Amino acid sequence: MSSLSIFFSSSNIWAFNKSKYSWLENYNDIRNVTVRIGDDIFKTFAAAKLIRNDNGVKYNAKIIIFNEICTSTSQIQSRRFYVSCPSGYSAIGKFTPLGNRKGSVGKGKDSLGNNVQYNFHGKTNGKVTKEEMIVALNNLKKPIETKSKQEQQRINTDNQIPTISAFTKQNGSNATISGRVTDNTQVAEVLIDGQIQQLSLNGTFKTNYYIPRAGKTIEIVAFDIKGNKASKILKIERDNIQQASGPTFDTLNPSVKRVKSNPNALALIIGISDYSKTNANAIYADKDAQQFYDYATMKLGIPARNVKELVNDKADLGEIGLAVQDWIARSTKKDKTDIYIFFAGHGLASDDGKNMYLLPYDGRPRLLDKTALLRDELFKEIQQSNPRSVTVFLDTCYSGTTRGTDMLVASRPIMIKAKEQSIPNNFTVFSAAAGDQTSKPLEEAKHGMFSYFLMKGMEGDADTNNDNKITARELHAYVEQNVLQQSSGSQTPELQGDKDRVLVQFN
């Protein structure tokens, strides 16, 4: 593009050309303008006038571009400008006042796809006389052909607004807005929330926004080269906002660390949730037992062939008796076998608190001495098989209450406090609660509270000195600390026996 050549003549130029350019009388503000179209820069003139009406305040102007007298409109409120030339050339964009009589700068796009910039110089150093404007007008040459006559006519008569399609995709507090803008002539500019967007060749766009808690209303505005405007409003609400509902607990995972195998060890695992002779169930007790099976093999190193599991209706009085008196008695190697007993279910003490019972699947709380397992006799029968050691994990209590708030025997509303009993020399016994306390569930983990932290500690969390060994003392300390915290001090796990015995040995 070539620069405009402007020549000045005598001071009576205006009087001589007054009739030819009578329209200029209505324009009282004439200034120098620097125009940049693409990479080309040239100087020109613009004559403007201020118009006030019900639609607001605007500047109408005549500006010389490409040897044409073009019309320019600048909306003060929206700070948008439009340029339209007789040849069909047009431009659209936004302008920024520079303040203090320094003029303004407008930036946008033209109908040829170029980036354009107009610098309307200030009143102080950019003022131009009518005579200077007329000299420029008299030196206009034939306008540059910018479009075919048919296309020019189509643009000049275009009243169709652009078409906007938009979609939102949310991820928490962030929203991605994407879509496409099309027009029957040409899309000049797209703004989202007031920011100019870059469009692909086929008119698509994509951008991201932070969405506040109260939501956000976003307006998409599109202009074509004629200045026709389309608008689309998007109201975006935040997705469901998570609130703290209680503590969370890790999923139990016994496969994290490998341990040394203990080929001579045996494990009897018993878990009873649904009892046949009482409606007071022991919630999650069966799940605790099934989960402990993996801890017996993966953390205590017991071969699967040496693990017997009795759950719910498989854990009646007869089956438990056979497991102890037949399977354990016959499978134990004298002074070589380590025996592990895990029991999750109901326990109950006698009325005087001297005897403690474990309730099998078919046990009757009102006939403990005939239908339940007396703890002392169970230990005595296991001891008779002459094992090297016995470790017992009891997720039960003897107070008469369940893992909920029910009473096992309706006629005994007062909880019974079981008296502490002695255990054989080579026994180590972990109990879920003191004699007058209730063994509670950990609802968030869907396990018994004692059982969950017992197994979690065996994963390695209880190895406080990081020596790759977990002793009974370490495991109890870990379980006690966590159960006390989660039960608000109402459940205190207990430990009897050899506190220094190594239970878990990591490789």
**What are the pLDDT digits (tens) for 21-56?**
788 888 888 889 999 998 888 889 999 998 888 777
Instruction: Among 2.60.40, 2.40.128, 3.10.50, 2.40.50, name the CATH number for the domain at 13-156.
Output: 2.40.128
pLDDT of residue 122: 86
CA distances from 125 to 11, 30, 33, 389 (A): 20, 12, 11, 102
Q: Where in the chain is the domain with CATH 2.60.40.10?
A: 163-236
The reply to whether the predicted model has a pTM over 0.85 is no
pLDDT for position 471: 97
Q: List, in order, residues 6 or more apart from 420 with CB less than 8 Å away.
A: 435, 496
Instruction: Centre a 10 Å sphere on the Cβ of residue 405 and count the other Cβ atoms it contains.
Output: 8
Backbone phi, psi, residue 145, to 5°: -75, 115
Output the six-digit token pair for 200: 């692909």
DSSP annotation string for 190-203: EEETTEE----TTS
**Residue 27: CB atoms within 10 Å:** 17
CATH annotation of 266-505: 3.40.50.1460
Asked if 476 and 498 touch (Cβ cutoff 8 Å), the reply is no
Best CA proximity match to 386, nearest among 349, 445, 339, 343: 339
CA distances in angstroms from 358 to 229, 277, 291, 434, listed in the order given: 81, 14, 20, 15
What is residue 150's predicted lDDT score, i.e. its pLDDT?
65
163-236 is classed CATH 3.40.630.30 = no
* Alpha carbon 382 to its chain's center: 53
Q: Could you give the maximum distance between any two Cα atoms of the chain, in Å?
A: 132
Residue range(s) occupied by CATH 3.40.50.1460 in the chain: 266-505
pLDDT value at residue 406 = 53
Alpha-carbon gap, residue 264 to 387, rounded angstroms: 10
Judging by DSSP bridges, how do beta strands 373-374 and 204-210 pair with one another? unpaired
Q: CA–CA separation, 197 vs 194, rounded Å?
A: 9
Query: Which pLDDT tens digit goes with each residue over 156-173?
Result: 788 899 999 999 998 888
Render pLDDT for 185-207 as a digit per residue (tens, 0 to 9): 888 889 999 888 888 888 899 99
Under DSSP, the state recorded for 24 is: G
pLDDT tens, residue order, the chain (507 aa): 333 333 334 445 555 566 677 888 888 888 899 999 988 888 899 999 988 887 778 889 999 988 888 999 998 888 999 998 888 888 999 999 888 788 899 999 988 888 999 999 887 777 888 888 888 888 876 554 444 566 667 777 888 999 999 999 988 889 999 999 999 888 888 999 988 888 888 889 999 999 998 899 999 999 988 889 999 999 998 877 777 777 889 999 999 899 999 999 999 999 999 999 988 889 999 999 999 999 999 999 999 999 999 999 999 999 999 999 999 999 999 999 999 999 999 988 888 878 899 999 999 988 999 999 999 999 999 999 999 999 999 999 776 555 555 555 443 333 445 556 789 999 999 999 987 888 899 999 999 999 999 999 999 999 999 999 999 999 999 999 999 999 999 999 999 999 999 999 999
Is residue 131 within 8 Å of 13, Cβ to Cβ?
A: yes
Q: Where in the chain is the domain with CATH 2.40.128?
A: 13-156
